[in-house]
């Protein structure tokens, strides 16, 4: 693990319990379908091929991550998660479906983007229903804050994109503000039709039951303008 997080307060709290069967699956499949626990993660070396690479931050039970890997077999797909029951579920499906284009990163997303990815090595980043930490005193735990945005930019190719879906209006507005005020030239635009996911995850189902609206945010990294004078 890196010696520092991007901010001193983590954006998650571990609450998990694995059954005996899940422990066995975790220990058996983890070495086969995960990135190394330390060091630089080079997608072309990890997947043994050169291809566009997408990262999902905090994939939970893995519904959208698995769907992405199945819909885009030509992509290298990486999922970042610290919740072991979700990791076990994904590893089990990857093994049963023989998904050679999907691998898991067991680490804090802030640390991964801080120093574990080569610069401009990723084409797209997606995050579905990141923890909104709705109580005001907990807003400091939100992942998408000002210090995190330059790390995303550094990892993305020019023209790369970030897609975020949340059901908390306050968080959606905060995310838009931090991208808009970032040093990097981000452009917010409508979500492309090819990036619409119809998967109903646990968090989406929970939001629907509560009657909350969805806020889909899409940002593209533009190259800096150079003036030839």
Q: Which residues of 184-197 are buried (b: 16+ CB within 10 A; e: fewer)?
A: bebeeeeeeeeeeb
At 52, is the secondary structure helix, strand, or coil? Answer: coil
Q: Are 80 and 151 in contact (CB under 8 A)?
A: no
Catalytic, 67? Answer no
Looking at residue 148, the DSSP 8-state letter turns out to be G
Tell me phi and psi for residue 194, to 5 degrees: -70, -15
Q: Are 169 and 215 in contact (CB under 8 A)?
A: yes
Q: Checking phi first, is residue 159 left (phi over 0); if not, alpha (psi -120 to 50) or beta?
A: left
At 73, is the secondary structure helix, strand, or coil? Answer: coil
At 213, is the secondary structure helix, strand, or coil? Answer: coil
- Strands (E) in the chain, as ranges, are 53-57, 76-81, 102-106, 122-128, 156-166, 186-188, 215-221
**Residue from 67, 107, 115, 131 carrying the catalytic annotation:** 131
Q: Which residues of 145-178 are buried (b: 16+ CB within 10 A; e: fewer)?
A: beebbebbbbbbbeebbbbbbbbbeebbebbbeb
Catalytic residues: 131
């Amino acid at each position: 693990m890196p010696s520092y997080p991007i901010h001193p307060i983590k954006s998650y709290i571990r609450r998990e319990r694995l059954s005996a069967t899940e422990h066995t699956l975790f220990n058996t499949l983890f070495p086969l379908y995960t990135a190394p626990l330390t060091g630089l993660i080079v997608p072309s070396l990890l997947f043994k091929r050169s291809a566009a690479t997408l990262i999902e931050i905090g994939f939970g039970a893995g519904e959208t991550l698995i769907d992405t890997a199945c819909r885009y077999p030509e992509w290298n797909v990486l999922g970042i998660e610290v919740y072991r029951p979700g990791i076990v579920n994904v590893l089990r499906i990857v093994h049963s479906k023989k998904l050679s284009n999907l691998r898991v990163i067991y680490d804090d997303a802030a640390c991964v983007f801080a120093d574990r990815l080569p610069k401009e090595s990723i084409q797209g980043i997606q995050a579905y229903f990141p923890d909104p930490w709705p109580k005001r005193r907990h807003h400091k735990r939100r992942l998408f804050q000002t210090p995190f945005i330059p790390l995303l930019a550094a990892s993305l190719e020019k023209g790369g994109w970030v897609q975020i879906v949340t059901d908390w209006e306050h968080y959606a507005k905060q995310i838009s503000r931090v991208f808009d005020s970032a040093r990097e030239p981000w452009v917010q635009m409508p979500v492309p039709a090819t990036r619409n996911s119809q998967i109903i995850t646990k968090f989406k189902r929970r939001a629907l039951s509560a009657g909350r609206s969805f806020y889909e945010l899409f940002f593209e990294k533009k190259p800096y303008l150079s003036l030839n004078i």
